[in-house]
Amino acid sequence: MKMSYHPLFAAILLLVACSSHQKKILIYANSKIAVDETQKNITVEDGTTQVEKELDFSSSGTVVLNITGPAGKFTLEATEDGYWLANLGADTVVGSIQHTGSTKQTRITQDQLKFQLDSLNKLVKGANVSAASKNYFISPGKIAIITPLTDIKIFGPFTPVPSAFDASSVSEVYKFYNVSEVYNIISKLTEMSKYKYDKGDENKVDDDDSVYTIHPAKK
C-alpha cells in the first residue's frame, strides 16, 4: 500500500534524518588557525605555540578539509560520523582513552613501572596502536577518527587532566601528548627504574590514600 505524507510531516522527517549525522573535528596546530565560513578551508602558519580549534559538521557525506600551511597545500577527509583529530602541527601526537573513577593510584610497583615504560616506548613508535585499545599515533598532516561518539573531551599536549574535572559530564575522556613530551616522560621513568624505593617513616593508616614519602636507594 502506497503511503502519503503531509508536507510538514515530511519536512520533519527530513530534518530528523539530517540532524542525526554529526562529525566533530579537533584541529591541532602550532600557530593561529584561520577557518572560513564553510569551516572547510583552513590556513595555519608556522609557530611554536600549541593551538587547537573544534569544527562541527552535520552532513552525512565525507567532509573534505582544504589545508594551507607550512607543509604546503593538501586535503584531509573525515568519512564517517564521530569525533576526529587533525594534526596540523610539526610534531606527531599520541594519546589514549583515560579510565576515570574515584580510585586514586598513589603508589607504583617496579612491575607497573616497567609495564608503563614498555607501553610508552611502543606508543611513540606506533607499535601498539589499535582501535580496540583506543590509543592513537597521528603524524603531522594526518587525521584520525577517535571514536564514533561526539560528546567526549580531549585534553591536548601540555594540558593536564584537571583533578576537579567531572568525567561524568561526557561519554569518554582522552589525553594526547606531543611525542617530544612522551620522550621526556620516558626519560624520567627510566631514571626512576634505576632505584628501589623504601617507604618513609611517617605513620599511615590503611584507608589513608595520601602518597608515601619514598627514599631512593641505589639497586
> What residue has cell string 587525521?
143
**pLDDT tens-place values along the chain, 219 residues long:** 444 545 555 555 455 444 588 999 999 999 999 999 999 999 999 999 999 999 999 988 999 999 999 989 999 999 999 999 999 999 999 999 998 765 555 567 778 888 889 989 998 888 888 888 899 999 999 999 999 999 999 999 999 998 889 999 999 999 999 999 999 999 988 888 877 655 555 555 555 544 444 455 555
The whole-angstrom separation of Cα 81 and Cα 60 is 7
| Cell numbers at 174, concatenated | 582522552
Strand partners, 86: 27, 143
Whether the Cβ atoms of residue 182 and residue 94 lie closer than 8 Å to each other: yes
Angle at 128 between CA 27 and CA 99, to 5 degrees: 65
Residue 99 has what pLDDT?
81
Residue 10 has what pLDDT?
52
Measure Cα distances from 133 to 26, 66, 96 in Å.
Answer: 20, 30, 8
Residue 205 has what pLDDT?
55
Measure Cα distances from 36 to 28, 64, 67 in Å.
Answer: 17, 13, 11
pTM higher than the cut 0.75: yes
Q: Strands of 91-171 (E only): list them.
A: 93-97, 135-138, 142-147, 152-155
> What residue has cell string 623504601?
198
**CA 91 to chain CA centroid, nearest Å:** 14
Residue 198 has what pLDDT?
57
| Cell numbers at 184, concatenated | 621526556
Residue 214's Cβ-count burial label (10 Å; 0-12, 13-18, 19+) is: middle
Write the DSSP assignment of 52-63 as a string of letters. EEEEEE--SS-E
Name the amino acid, one letter, at 218: K
Residues 6+ apart with CB under 8 A from 104: 209
Reported as a single tens digit per residue, the pLDDT across 157-194 is 999 998 889 999 999 999 999 999 999 999 988 888 87
The whole-angstrom separation of Cα 181 and Cα 70 is 22
